[in-house]
Each structure stands twice: as structure tokens, then as C-alpha cells.
Structure 1
Amino acid sequence: MDHQTLQPIGIIKARLHDISYRTGLVFLAISLLIFCIAGSVQEWDTPVPFFLNYALAVFYFIMIWAGGWLKRGGNGIHHIFIWLLLCLVSAYSLNRVMNIFDESTTWFSIVLVIVSLNYLAFAFFYAMPLPVKAVMFFILGIAICCFIYLTIYLVSVMAFSIMTFWVLGVPLHTFVPAFFVIYSIVLFRRTFGKNRLFRITFWSSIGVVALITVAFSVYWRTIIVQMEKDGRHAEHAGLPEWVAVSQRMPVNDVAQKILKSGFVYTVNPNWDRSWFWNEPSMLWEEKLKHDPLVMTASVLSGVPAMNTIDRIHILESMYDSRHQAEERLWSGDDLFTSHVKTEAHIWPRLHMAYTEKTITVTDRQQKSWPAQQEALYTFHLPEGSVVTSLSLWINNKEEKGILTTKAKADTAYKTIVGAERRDPSVIHWQEGNTVTVRVFPIMHGQSRQFKIGVTSPLVAGNGSLEYSNIYFDGPSTGSCREDVAVTFQTPPASLYTPGMFDRENNKLYNSGRYNAAWSLSFKDEGITSNVFSFNGRLFSIVTYKPEMAVAHLQDVYLDVNSMWTRSEFDHVLTMLEGQRIWMYADNEMQQVTAQNKYTLFDQLEDYRFSLFPFFKITAPASAMVITKGTTVSPIADELQDTEFMTSLKAWLGNSSGVMLFNLGGELSPYLRTLKECRTFRYAKGDRHMLQQLLTTKQFPAAVENDEQVVVEPAGIMIRSVPGTDASNAPDHLMRLFAYNHIMQQMGPKLLTKGEEGDSLVNEAREAYVVTPLSSLIVLETQADYNRFNIKDSENSLKNASLHSQGAVPEPHEWALIILVMLVLIYVKYRTPVKSRTAV
């Protein structure tokens, strides 16, 4: 049949009337359906889907061989491509059982789908308009490049495949890419004729692929060279190599893949690993991936010499991805978050809120080894917030957590999870306003439920208050549903809500897909009269108005990073005219002059974050540091055992309250930790506020002590004084006071790991708050608590609750309640006098 003499409609009809071709399309559709279903609802490693797909490929091969489509001159090229596509689907099904390739990246999967559709379209080539034909040849060139790459990747196992082909022919799947290359060349030669346009588009596509590959590899090498150069300068600053690298490393997809090469992205086709399962890295929570560009670049341009642990530190600093690097006792690869229930109660007149999140985590697998997995969640809390409750459902019953020391909780959890594999959950405080929750075990095909409660200050500013949702990192929320309910103690004025909420009286509610980022705002109507009484102390809130103190400035230090602009820099220098100004560059503190100011600025504005060396300040009491917030940086714990941190710890023990002014943005994790330690006197504002402070020579004083703490984001001060008045406010006053008081009392000890007195641990127990010293844990039985000497405190607030929002009676109030109860019982059950006489 001469296809070129037929009209387009005739070509399409002739092809679709071909029973063998039509059957092949049906087989291909069935094979793809099996592949997709196996990937979504069954295990990855069961061989059943593979054998079904393999059987379809074998049966179709027999069909077209018997039909004569494989004979020379049989015009069976398009039938062969359907068979090859069946083999390709079968090969990727086999890959789920025998791990030849790691999971393909999204872009490569999309390319394979496009080139596969293009092969099918060639059966109707002569019915296509000229521009479409040119595009088809362009895609054909890309296809040849892809399958040449896959052929090269599999060369090392082809010899083994030949020796073992007798195992039902299964090992011959490694030759599928090579057959695609051969028959793509045949297709090209048979189809293009002498058309110059088709030749140009075909070879152009190959040139484009080569150009992209070379450009990617060159850029890959450029970044590695820069990493090595920056790393060499780190030693002089007393910092590890990875810190200097992360300060200047670009933030893009290529740089991230370089950092993840070897433990997320495959960088060499080694066959010394097992083909039958792919054990995920316990250092990083991300599935192993196969990216042809990464593989090629690693071969052509090399891989970074920096070790895996240091590269993980860079990822943590650059991408705020510490959750992925958290220590894991068991894998959680197959887990997903299936439901979140968020309930919040807000006290607008107290500038605080309490939030409970009940989370259901599910294992999508039905059967596999190991039979259980560990769920790990990292919750990001608003500044000043504290975890005040934890529950785990065991045998369909809610079991509440017990507050104990962090060391005891950690020992109990690791002992049970690591060796005994029973039911614990634990929550630990982390630097940077985060906490981690661990739940174990989640069995295959089953779900577990836990609940976390957080007491938070509202963020005050510009006459309004803001409540922000508490979001988390953890098992995927792609298919998660959420129910949200928000109530208010008093009706808020000028309430602004996102469109997701429905409103009913004094309640907001929503049901739908999980949404991590939402907030509410309303007018700040001031603080109402309030008091909470417990154990002989009264806790109350007042509006915080910074108490200004005289600032005797001698030196001003500019902590410049990429967030600064040149105009901002010039404006600050103008304000500081006549002052001694310093900047830290080239690993030394340099005085700023008219001659060197722009040289220093140009050098430092390339830094994505700064680690200002406070220990270089010679006179802290008369020094001010002016900074600008960045969202990323290392945290103090990641810098332990470095010369930099040793010097900082020594300085912290003798420092006397340096002034820190933040020109804008959220403080970096490094500075947030120092702020929690009360390392400096802090103020935040724009250039006009800075000008005012400099003009008046004043700065906010440090006013915290044993009887009052400042919750700066909420604009409140919480006081604690002796007394036994009746409570008219929630117990969250005491919880917020205790957390902030403990952090204030620990101060530099939070970093120096100095000894803390039992009084701070007892304060955490009494208020039931999670701190650097204390954690909440749920164990399966009372015997487990006894074994690890974990005892609940009777004289404490216990776990916070939405249904019990506060007032815990004082001892004299308990006595009054008991007396009233006895009177009521007596009145109800006493025998009337007349009745006794009658008897």
C-alpha cells in the first residue's frame, strides 16, 4: 500500500482497520493501566504487575510474528514500535522489583511519555500537515538521545543478561533501549525521504540535546569549583568548610542536585548494590532518583569532594530543610498524612491562642518488609510559642503524654522503638521555634492518630493582632483533608479572614483540602483585666511598652548580607556620621572609611546569610549591631565543636548586653537562637525608628527578671507575683510565663550546655511545657513509665485542653467546693424529721 497516494482520512481508516495494530493499542492501554494501578494502590515490589505486562508483550510479539509483520518488506515497523512500548512498560514494571534504575525524575518521565506518543503518531505520519511532521522528527531526535543514554547506562549488565536469558527471557529487558535506537534509525531512514526540512529538524534536536547536556555539565563544574574555592577560606574564620560554601552557593535546581548527588541522585551506574530492593538513606528523607543530566554531568564534570554530612548541613542551612535530615530509627517512606483536624481558641483581649492539631498518618502499603514505619513531624511555631499537650491513640483510646526530662524521654523512646517496637510517641524542643514529634509504629495499610497542643502569643503590630496557622513538615499532605474550627473568647473587632472560612456566630469553620498557609487578623482592642492563680502565685498580662535606657554608643557594627540594598547602606552610613563603624570581612573586623565602604559592601552583599561574630566586639555595653533578617542560616547546634562557637560561648559568659537593631525581615535562625538566649537587647523597625534611637541616644532596656517576662511579638509582658486571688483567665498565662522565664533564665547556658538547676525543670513540670530541658512522651503501659522512672507530677497543670480552658482552683477554693458538695449531698440524702417520727 502506497501511503503517500492516500488521503489523510483514508490513511487513518486503513491503519485502524488493521486488527494487529488495533490489538496492539488495546494491549498497550491495558499494560499502562496495570502499571499505573500497581504504582498507586499496590506495593512497588510485587512481581504480579510485571508478569502481567510481560505476558502482554510476549503475546503481542507472537501475534505480529505469526502475522508476518516482522518479515523483511512486511511494513511492520509501527507494529514493532507498539511491541517495543509494551516492552518498555514491562521493563519499568520489572524495575520496581529489581532496582536497576532509581525512580526517574519528573522531567525525564514526561520526556519518555512524549517520545512514546510520538512513536505511535508516526503510524499516521502521511496524514499529518508539514509543520507537525517537522515537530515529529524533532521529537524523534530527542528519543534517540534518550535511548542511547539508557543503552549506555545498561551496557554493564548486558553480558549478564545474555548469560541468564533462559530465565523466561526476563533479563533481555536490558536490551529494550538498544532496540529503540536501532528501530528509530530505521524509522528515520524510511520516513524522511529526501526532505531537507526533516533532516534539519532531526539533527537540530540532537544538537539541542547535546548543547543542553554540555551546558549543564559546564555549569555543574563551575559550581563545584566555586564550592572548593569558598571552602578553602572557611578555615581562617574558625568555621567548617560547609558554612563558607553555603554562604555563597547559588540557590537553584542544579546546585541542589550537586548537594544531593550520591545520596538522593544516582551519580554512577554501580551494580554492587542489591537489585531486589533499594534501601533508602536514613540520613535524608527523600527517595533516590535517577536523573540523566545529573548522571552525565557527574561522569563528565565530577562530583563534589565534600562529604555527605557536610552537604546535608548546607541543604539544611540553604533550604530550611532540617526536617529531612532529622535522625530516624525507622524509615517513613510509605507514609502520608491523610487527615488534619485543627481546633483553635483565641483570646483577643489577652493576645494569645491555644491550638490543637489532631493528625492521622497512614501507611499506603499493604504488605512489605519491614512491617512498621516511624512517622516524623516538624512543627513550625510562632515566636514565643510553647507545646503544652501531646496525645497518642493506642487501641483506639486517647492516651495523654507525661512531661519528663528530655533525657529520660529520649532514652525511653529510643529503647522501645529501637529494640522492642511498641507504641511510643515523643515531642522534643528544637532551635529556631520548632518541635519534632515522633510516632511509632505505623503498620502497613493502617493509620495512627496523635494530637499536639500549642499555646501561642498573637502577633501585634499597627493596631492589629494576627493569628497564623501552625504548619508542619512531615509525611506527604498531597491528598490530605482538613477540618478547621476557630472560636473566640470575645467577639473580635474588624475580623479579616481568608475566603476559605464560613462563619457562624462566634466561630469560623472550614472543611476541604489541607491548607498550611492561612492567617486571621483583627483589631487590637487592648488587654482586659485578667489573672490566673496557681500554687500561691498570680499570673497576669499587661501591655508591654519598651522601657528606654540611655545608649552610650562608641562603636556601630553593620551586619551586611544579601538582604541589604546599596541605598539602604548609604542611608545608614549617613545616619552614623561621626561614629566608628565596623564591618566583618575577610575574617577580620575592619573599620569603614570613605575609601573602603563600597568594597566591603560589594563583598558582603553576595552572602546569603551572615554569622556575625559577636565575640569580636571589644566593648559590648557601648556597641550596637545593625542587621537585616534573612530566612536561612545555620543554627547554633550545627556549629558545635567549631572554633567560632567556642569563642562565642566564651564571650556569652562575660557579655553585657550588646544592642541589636533589626532593620527588617525575620531574624535568621542563628540570631533567633541568640535572641532566645537573651544575648542582646533587641529592637526592630525601619530607618526612621533607627534615626530616632540614634538621635535620642536611647535603646530598649532589658527588663526581664524572675517576676516578669516579655513576649515581644505579642507586645505583652507577663507578670508573676505571690497571691491567691480567684482566677478569671486561662492557665495559658502561666504556661507562657514559664516557657519564657525558663528561656530567660537559661540564657547563654542554652548554647554553652551549662548546668541548669532543678528549679527550672520543676517549673517546666509544674506548667507542663516543652522546653530545652523537658519533653512530652506517651508510652504504652504504666510498666513502661515505671521502667524508665517517668512519673507524672500531681501538682501541675497537666496537658492543656480546649475543653478546659484554664482556671485551676487554688487549695482554699478546692476546700470551698468540697464543702459545698458535702452540703448538697447532705440536703439531698438526709431523712426528713417528720418521716422518721411517723415510722
Structure 2
Amino acid sequence: MRYKLGILDYYSQKTGVQISLFVTLFSTIFMICALTSKEFSYREYESVGSISLIIEFIYGTVVSFLILRKREEYLHLVPFLMLNWLIGCFSLNVFISIFQNLPVWVYITTFVFCISNFFLYQNEIKTPHTYIVYFINGATFWIIFYFALFLIPVTPYSFIGILALGMGFYGLVPAIILVIHLLTIILHLPKNRSYYLSFSAGFSIVLVSFLIFTTGLVIESKKIAQIVKINSFESNADLPAYISVSQNIKPNFFNEILLKKNLVYINIDEFFSFDRFGSFSKQQFNGTKINNPFISIAYLVCDDLGLDNDDKINILKSNFDKRLETEEQLWNGDDLFTKKIKEDVKVYPEARLAYTEITMDIACGEDSRGNEEAIYSFQLPEGSVATSLSLWVNGVERKGVLTTKEKAKKAYNQIVGVEYRDPSLIQWKEGNKVVVRVFPVNRQTPRKFKCGFTTPLKIEDSQMKYQSLSIKGPNISNAGTISRIQITGNSAVETSKDFEFEKGFYMNQSKGLDDWQATMPLSKINHSSFAWNGKIYEVDAIQKAVISFTPSEIILDLNNNWTTKQIESFVNLDQQNLYVFVNGQKKKIDKDNFKAIQLDFEDSQYTLLPLYKLAKNSLVITKSGTFSANFEELEESNYLKKIKSGTKQKNIKVFNISSDINPFWQTAKEQKYVDYFQSSLATCLEMINKHQFPVYKTDPNSINIEPSQVSISENISSQNSKNNGTNHIYRMYAFGKVLEEQVKIQNDSVANNQYVELAKDANIVTPISSLIVLETDEDYKNNGIDKNVNTLGNASINNDGAVPEPHEWLLIIIGTATLYFYYRKTKKQTV
């Protein structure tokens, strides 16, 4: 330690070192202030960077002159000169954004390179670990190469800038440092082999890593470009052009980076092009653009994909589940993080339902400025529905009000985009998702919101399973999480993460939000029921039946999830009406050609069958994956218009021999475009041989909840009707009816209003309704939103039981009045 301090003291006594340290310190402080102000959009403080520029200009001019005039006396200041030149570059970049948004690690790498120069350039000062310094210098030197390469296009402007203001010199700085450092290395390193090897090893490791990364990116870019070229010859006018590309792209690390070109990662090849307006897209992809040196250089040798930004966004949504990133965002949320999560679960085994209440505390980083908008995406188990929303305003919980999705969105956009005040909104999305928005969140005003979801328990192997919710949002991984489970009745429960039984509840504390399950023994249906508005809603076992069904044709919906044996098992049935769709055309498949046909689907990630082209009473066999385009993304296509108008009447049956279901089949199933059944391969083959198809019995007054294998029926309430269940029974019934009738009400505004009223009554978020919290009652009035009156209102973990019927209310009132008068009379007699 004394040795190192001695070296530092010796070096600080050299001419100009102390003043250089002083200048570097102050310039660095002003540069960091300017960069921070720019990062957090605090524009009025960005001007402090000009102080750093002035200091650096004076210092650089003086020291350069001294080194040129008295080389031996001032050569030790070269590392200071390089460091301050680069500080000047970064300060100027605040005002003239050439590099745009550099990641923090780029600044750190540059700083480490400059610090290592202080050891490398002092030939008379050597330590036992100097070879480590040379290794670090070699590993960080490549960043100077990147800066020099990036600034080649502005070199002519830099010379003009030198003549005009002198600031143009900073455009030449990386190239000058590159030349100086290369000359130093060439002249001095060969004298010491260990230093030479250390420097070369550091530089080579980074170079080899970059080459491996670039090779992977180039290979993937060629694959995608080839897919685009091949599919450009297809003439399917019904589907958007990007779909055929999306169907053949397997999600991986490399093609995600390629698809984010110009959306997330800056492409330096076109950065200085004046034809940049063509890169604008109709859709939004949230997040700050990043100038990542590794990725930007690798882009230079990659093939052009031949996709515009809208196509890339759509592929990212369908193949990479980036739908949250493409949500319309009125304010950024880059500095937000989730501070606390409370996960409260109440399970009703007798009704095979659960209610989950999630409470989130959102905060901003300490250095953040201004208001930000938080957006969360909740992936729900199949059949689940959002049933409550609360936002804390000035420390008081305000509960959500249910209205049409159009009114809710309009009110939210008005208040957030124009008035900058407090709303929260929860919206239904396809594929068992909801999106929650909260505004504003800032450093002085952290926010808290709560939302609740009613979920069916899934039946698996004589057990009921509760699946936790998957949530995406601002930095959830470090949130302090408290989870609680309470079970009505005496059911035993087993969980996939550790819960401790405390005071009647199962409790767990953790970090972030874990994916976990709770399993319980399958309970018998005890006819739990809930009475509401003169009707009784009763839970019963689902009624499964097997109907006679001889398909007019059998369609194998092939993709790369299918195995050869699975396809072979169907062609061995010797059915004469077995077909596949290849490039949108129906083709017969048999024992002779099935292997050749399978090759056509080896890269197919998912398919979108033209259901409207199928014959009446067709049977589709699919093996679904987890991703695909959904109905929302296909909304403007002729394909979806034909699906909606020409599918439902065809009586198409679908067997899915996979345990997964993608967004397309999920919506087709929910909206009853097809009769859908999930089963094993063996069951499917057996049913085909017997000319049968399994169905769940339905009637106009009931809905089926397939995951939990129950049905909920609506009947007129009588005095003998039991009212012993949770109000979530009615909420699930209403959700099922809205989804069931959605196809019928597309062009019927009267019917549409009818089902909006049903959604309001049950307080459920559906394709036609949303929950919104506004700051004041006047806000609801101004936006034409009626507050909840005579509805179930927001669900609650502590208030979920039976609600008295009107005649029961009358008895309660009479009983209360009788007790009151009896109490008054007794009191008078006592006096």
C-alpha cells in the first residue's frame, strides 16, 4: 500500500498534474450533471455541460501546445489530455446528439480505458501487476475503434466546425486518440513480451467474442431475409404480408436483436442518412433507443431483412410476447420500479374458484424528474376475469367504476394526455390478458393500486390447481413480496413454494414475483349458489357428452410441433378425406406423401387455417404451441373478416392434441367460432374411429367453465333456493355470457348495450367493458360515466359472500326496527 501511495505522490509532483486533476474533476462533475439532466428530461439544467466544454477547450488547447513545444517535460500529461478530450466529446453530445443514447457501460468502458493509460504511458513506473493493466487496456481499447468508426461520416463537418467555432475538433478526437495509442503500442509494447501478450489477450478476447456474436447474427439475418424473399412470391391477399414471415421465425436471442433494429437498437449504417423518415411506423414500440456498439457494428455486415418497422413490431408481438412494449404509452415509464407487491389469494374449493388480489406500490428512482406512466400486463389462467380495481389518491383508496371500453379509454387519454391528473385503467386483452395503467408516478408521489381477478381452479389428475398470475411491469424482480393463501372449508393444500401456516393463513415472504402453484384434492360439487336480483346462480358438475360426428373432411393443422409418428398415426387411419393446407391450398395427405409434406412445415411455428374455406362439418386436428398472431392484430385483414362472416355456421370441430393453446385458437374457442376440445392423441384417434366427438352440454341459461369442469346455471330464485356461495359465481357466469355472445353482438348496438349492462352488474372487465378510477366524482360526470349503482361493485378479498335478496332486505329492516323499538321501550321502563 505504501508503495502505491509513493507512486501516486511521485506522479502528482510532476509538472501540470495537480491542475490537470482539478480540471478533470470539475469537468467530469459538469458532464455527469448534463448527462443526468438529459436522461431525465430536465432540459433547463443541460446547459451546465457548456461549462465543461469551455474548460475542456481551454485545457486541451494549452496542454496540446505545451506537449508539442516541450515534449519530454509534458509527455506525462497525454493520458489527462485523452481523458479530457473524451469528456469534451460526451459533453458536446448533450447538445449535438451524434451518439444518441449510449448505455452506461460504454461510459464506464471509456473511463476504464483512460485510467489504464495513466499506467501504460508512464514507462518509468512499473508494478508487479502492470500486466493486468495492459490486459484491461487491450480489452477496452476497442471502444475507441467504435467511436472513430462511428464518426467517419461527420469528419468533413468536423473540419468545417474547427474553422467556425473550434468545437468541430471533438469529431476528430477518437481518430486522434486511436492514432496516438496505436503508435504508443507499436513503439513500446514489443520491448516487453509479457506486456505485449497481456494487451493482445485483452484485445483478442473482445474481438473473438464480437466475431462469434456477429457470426450468429449474420447467419440469422440470412435466414430471415431468405424467408422474406421466398414468401414475397405468395399471393395470399387475405393475410398481412408479415404473417408468413412470422410463421417461419423461431424465437431466439439473435433474431430478436435483428427485429429490434431501428426500434430499440440504433443502426449506424443509416444513422446519417437523410432518408430516415421512411423508418417511421404506425405502431408504437416503447422504450428509449439504445446505441449499443456491439450490436450497431454487427448490423453493418448483416443482410437487410426486407421488413418495415410495422412488420417487425407485429412479429415481436406474436413471436416474442412483446405486446406490453407496443401498448400505447402517453408518458414514458423508464425510471419506474415496483417497490412492494402484496399477493392475496382466497380459494373456494366447493365452487372450484379462487380470487386473487394484487396490490402494487410503484416508485421512481431518486434522480428521476417529471411525471411517468406505469403499465402492467397480467397473464391470467384460462377463464379468468378482472373484477376489481382501486387507486390510492391522496392516501385514500378510490374504487374503480365500470363503463364501456370506449368511454374508459377516452376519459383516460383526456385526463392523462391533457389534464395530467390521477387516473387508473384496466383493459381486457386477447389471450387471457389484462393491462393496468397508472398515472402519474413521480419522485414526490409514489403510487399504490390494487386489482382483483376471479380465477377457475384447473382440474388435473383428481386434483384442483391454482396457478399464480404472471405479471410484467416496471422492474418487478427486486420488489418485496408478501403472499397469503386462505382456503374456505377444510381442504388441505400443497404449494410449489414454501408457505408457513400462521393464524389460519399460509404466508410467504420473497423477492420479486415467483411462478407458483397450489394443489388441493378434488372436491365434490356441493351445488354452491349465489342469489342476485331475483335469480339464483348455481354451480354444478359440467355435463360432458359424446355425440355422433362423421366429419366431411379431416384437416391436419401441421406445424413444427408435430412428430413424424403423430402424423403417421393419422394417415394410417386410411381416411380418404384427410387433408392439409399448404400455402393456403388444400392438399390430400396419405401414407405416400406425408413425410414430404412434413418437410414443408419443419420451420412453421404456427399456422392460421383459412377456416372459411373448410367444408361444413369439418374436423381440424391441431397441435398448438404458445404463440401466434391474435385477432386484434389481424383486425384489418380480409382473413379475419372472412373468419367472422363465414366460419361459425360451418359447425367446425377442433381437437387439440397439445397441452398448450396459442392466442388464435384461444379466441376462436372463447368466441365459439369452432367447437374445441383438448385431448390426448389416443383419445382423438379413438373418437375418429368411432365417428364421435366429445362436447360439453350447454343451454341458454348456463355457461361452462372447462378448466374447473363446472357449469353455472341461472334460474329464478325461490324461497327454497340456497344462497351459500361466493359472489364470484355470478361474476364468472356474467363473463362467460359476454364472451359467448360476443360474436352475435358485433353489429347489434342494442344487444351490445345489453351485455355492457351485464358486465356493469357483475363489475367485470370484458372485451366491451373496462374499469377506471378517476380523481374526483366530477371527473366521472364530465366524461359521461355513471358510478356503480345497484351492482355487485368491486370484488374484495374480505367481502365475497352472499348478498341479501330484496325480500331478505325487507326482513332485515323489519327485524332491525323491531329490536330498536324494543330497546327504546326497555330503556324508558328502566328509567
Quick check: TM above 0.5?
yes
Mapped contact 1:360–1:447 kept (Cα < 8 A) = yes
Q: Could you tell me whether the CA contact under 8 Å between 1:242 and 1:310 is conserved in 2?
A: yes
Is contact 1:280-1:287 (8 Å) kept? no
Report the AA paired with residue 783 of structure 1. Answer: E
- Partner residue of 2:595 out of 592, 595, 598: 598
Once the two structures are TM-superposed, the CA of residue 75 in structure 1 deviates from its matched residue by 7.6
Aligned pairs (5 A) from 1:214-253: 215=215, 218-219=218-219, 222-223=222-223, 225-236=225-236, 238-253=238-253
Which residue identity does 1:822 align to in structure 2? A
Deviates more, 1:248-257 or 1:40-49: 40-49
Cα pair 1:557 1:624 within 8 Å, conserved: yes
Decide whether aligned partners of structure 1 residues 117 and 679 sit closer, same or farther in structure 2, where only a CA change above 3 A counts.
farther
Match of 2:398 in 1: 399
Structure 2 unpaired stretches of 5+: none
Per-residue CA distance 1:286-313 (angstroms, 9 max, x = gap): 2101133544455555744433222211
- Cα distance, 1:31 vs structure 2: 7.9
1: distance between equivalents of 2:371 and 2:495? 44
1:491–1:506 CA contact under 8 A, matched in 2 = no
**Cα distance in structure 2, aligned partners of 1:363 and 1:11:** 41
RMSD in angstroms over aligned alpha carbons?
3.9
| Aligned counterparts of 2:599 and 2:109: Cα–Cα separation in 1 | 42
SS at 2:374 equivalent: strand
Mark the CA change 1:432 to 1:225 in structure 2 (over 3 Å): closer, same or farther.
Answer: same
- Deviations for 1:615-641, whole angstroms, at most 9, x for unmatched residues? 221132xx3211112111111121123
Aligned ranges for residues 261-280 of structure 1 at < 5 Å? 261-267=261-267, 268-270=270-272
Aligned to 2:715: 721
Determine the structure 2 residue equivalent to 1:798: 793
* Residues 484 and 505 in structure 2, CA contact (< 8 A), matched pair in contact too: yes
Alpha-carbon distance change, 436 to 833 in structure 1, aligned in 2, over 3 angstroms: closer
User: Which SS does the other structure have where 1:104 is aligned?
Assistant: coil
Does residue 286 of structure 2 align to residue 285 of structure 1? yes
Deviation readout 1:457-487 (Å, 9 max, x if unpaired)? 1122012222222232232335433332222
Gap change, CA 1:290 and 1:196, over 3 Å in 2: same
The 5 A counterparts of 1:16-415 are: 17-19=10-12, 43=40, 45=42, 46-47=45-46, 50=49, 71-74=70-73, 76=75, 79-89=77-87, 91-92=89-90, 95-96=93-94, 98-105=96-103, 112=110, 115-116=113-114, 118-120=116-118, 122=120, 127=127, 135=135, 139=139, 142-143=142-143, 145-152=145-152, 154-155=154-155, 157-159=157-159, 161-163=161-163, 165=165, 172-193=169-190, 198=196, 201=200, 215=215, 218-219=218-219, 222-223=222-223, 225-236=225-236, 238-267=238-267, 268-270=270-272, 283-296=284-297, 303-364=304-365, 371-415=370-414
Residue 605 of structure 1 aligns with an amino acid whose one-letter code is E
Report the 3-state secondary structure (helix = DSSP H, G, I; strand = E; otherwise coil) of the residue aligned with 2:373. strand
Paired AA for residue 567 in structure 1: K
Please list the CA deviations of residues 50-105 of structure 1 after superposition, one character each: whole Å capped at 9, or x if unmatched. Answer: 5787699689869978997984234835x422442354355445545653323235
2:493·2:518 contact (CA, 8 Å) conserved in 1? no
2:550 to 552, 560, 567: 552
Q: Distance in 1 between matches of 2:61 and 2:700?
A: 86
Q: How much does 1:762 deviate?
A: 2.1
Moved more, 598-607 or 717-726: 717-726
Q: Amino acid of the residue matched to residue 612 of structure 1?
A: L
In structure 2, the CA distance between the partners of 1:109 and 1:134, relative to structure 1 (3 Å rule), is closer
What corresponds to 1:664 in structure 2?
Answer: 658
- Distance in 2, matches of 1:740 and 1:810, equals 23
Corresponding residue SS for 2:672: coil
What are the superposed Cα offsets for residues 497-555 of structure 1, whole Å, 9 maximum, x if unpaired? Answer: 413x3331431223342215233223323333411111111112223352222222342
Q: Which residue of 2 aligns with 1:507?
A: 505
Name the CA shift for 1:498/1:178 in 2 (closer, same or farther; >3 Å).
same
Deviation (angstroms), 1:110: 7.2
Distance in 2, Cα, partners of 1:207 & 1:777: 53
**Native 8 Å contact 1:485 1:507 kept in 2:** yes
The answer as to whether partners of 1:625 and 1:660 remain within 8 angstroms in 2 is: yes
* Residue 758 of structure 2: aligned partner: 763
Maintained 8 Å contact 2:631/2:664? yes
Cα 1:521–1:246 shift into 2, 3 Å: same
Same amino acid, percent of matched pairs: 26
1:446 match:
445
Q: Which 10-residue stretch deviates more, 185-194 or 726-735?
A: 185-194
Mapped to 1, the partners of 2:515 and 2:484 lie a distance apart of 15
Pairing 1:707-746 to 2, within 5 Å after superposition: 707-724=701-718, 725-746=721-742
* Letter in structure 2 aligned against 1:595: D
Distance (Å, rounded) in 2 between the aligned partners of 1:289 and 1:229:
29
Length-normalised TM-score, structure 1: 0.86
C-alpha distance in 1, partners of 2:503/2:304? 61
Corresponding residue of 1:586:
583
* Whole-Å separation in 1 of the counterparts to 2:468 and 2:66: 65
Contact 1:358 1:452 in 2 (8 A): yes
Whole-angstrom distance in 1 between the partners of 2:728 and 2:692: 34
The residue aligned with 2:776 is 781
CA distance, structure 1, for counterparts of residue 567 and residue 128 of structure 2 = 62
Q: What amino acid is the match of 1:269?
A: F
Query: Does structure 1 residue 820 correspond to structure 2 residue 820?
Result: no
* Contact residue 530 and residue 730 of structure 2 kept, 8 A: yes
- Deviation readout 1:135-159 (Å, 9 max, x if unpaired): 5685376355334324426536524
Q: Can you list the C-alpha shifts for 1:780-832, whole angstroms capped at 9, x where unaligned?
A: 33333223332235322111111211211111111111112112211222256
TM-score, normalised via structure 2 length:
0.87
Q: Do the aligned partners of 2:341 and 2:358 also contact (CA within 8 Å) in 1? A: yes
Once the two structures are overlaid, the 10-residue window that deviates more, 95-104 or 643-652, is 95-104
Distance in 2 between residues matched to 1:759 and 1:112, nearest whole Å: 64
> Partners of 1:44 and 1:414 in 2: how far apart?
22
The residue number in structure 2 matching 1:616 is: 613
Q: Distance in 2 between matches of 1:206 and 1:342?
A: 44
Is the CA contact 1:11–1:124 (under 8 Å) kept in the aligned structure 2? no
Q: What is the one-letter code of the residue matched to 1:632? A: F
Report deviation, 1:285.
Answer: 0.9
CA offsets 1:116-144 (integer angstroms, 9 cap, x no match): 56545535886568986985685376355
Residue 452 of structure 1 and its aligned partner are, at CA, apart by: 1.2
Paired residues of 2:346 and 2:485 also in contact (CA < 8 A): yes
Cα separation, 1, equivalents of 2:580 and 2:785: 50
Q: 1:20 to 1:653 in 2, by over 3 A?
A: farther
Structure 1: distance between partners of 2:35 and 2:505:
42
| 1:601-660 deviation digits (Å, cap 9, x = unpaired) | 11112111111222221132xx3211112111111121123232232122224222x221
Per-residue deviation at 1:708?
Answer: 1.6
Contact 1:12 1:124 in 2 (8 A): no
Q: Is the 8 A contact 2:264 2:287 kept in 1?
A: yes
CA contact (8 A) 2:400 2:771 kept: yes
> For residue 643 of structure 2, what is the aligned residue in structure 1?
648
Residue 236 of structure 1 aligns to a residue whose secondary structure is coil
Quote how far apart the aligned CAs of 1:669 are.
0.6
Unaligned runs of 5+ in 1: 1-7
Structure 1, 448-457 or 786-795: larger mean CA deviation: 786-795
Range that drifts further, 683-692 or 629-638: 683-692
Amino acid of the structure 2 residue aligned with 1:668: N
Q: 1:122 to 1:570 in 2, by over 3 A?
A: farther
Could you say which residue in structure 2 is the equivalent of 1:419? 418
Q: CA deviation at 1:379?
A: 1.7
The alpha-carbon deviation at position 692 of structure 1 amounts to 3.3
Q: Which residue does the alignment assign to 2:497? A: 498
* Secondary structure of the structure 2 residue equivalent to 1:785: helix
Pair 1:66–1:411, CA change in 2 (3 A): closer
